[in-house]
Amino acid sequence: MYFYEYIQSNYSSIYETFTDFYNKYAYAVNYPLNKNHISRLLTALGLKTIMKKINTPPDNKSRSCVFLNVPEDKLSETFKKNGIQKFV
């Protein structure tokens, strides 16, 4: 399975930490690429990560993490711009 196929089949929009995104990807495919390669693929597709502060349980401490926030219209636009057809 190609990386873009994984995104198309599992996400209409992306709103989660990069670590959660990567862990779901790594679990879903037989031979996953490493985190560095996935980060570079996201950049090549035009999907940018952001640094965001989140509160973590149980002590509600604030920590910084790399976050993906890609709304549905941006994800669809990205696929069109890269010549990737949405499959049904």
The domains of the chain are located at: 13-78
Are 52 and 36 within 8 A, CB to CB?
Answer: no
Are 2 and 8 within 8 A, CB to CB?
Answer: no
Give the number of other CB atoms < 10 A from CB of residue 67.
19
User: In this predicted structure, what is the pLDDT of residue 32?
Assistant: 94
What gap in Å lies between CA 86 and CA 66, rounded to an integer? 27
pLDDT tens series, the chain, 88 aa: 789 889 999 999 999 999 999 999 999 999 999 999 999 999 999 999 999 888 878 888 888 899 999 999 999 899 888 888 765 4
- Would you give the end-to-end CA distance of the chain in angstroms? 15
pTM over 0.75: yes
Bridge partner residues of 51 (DSSP): 66
Are 49 and 67 within 8 A, CB to CB?
Answer: yes
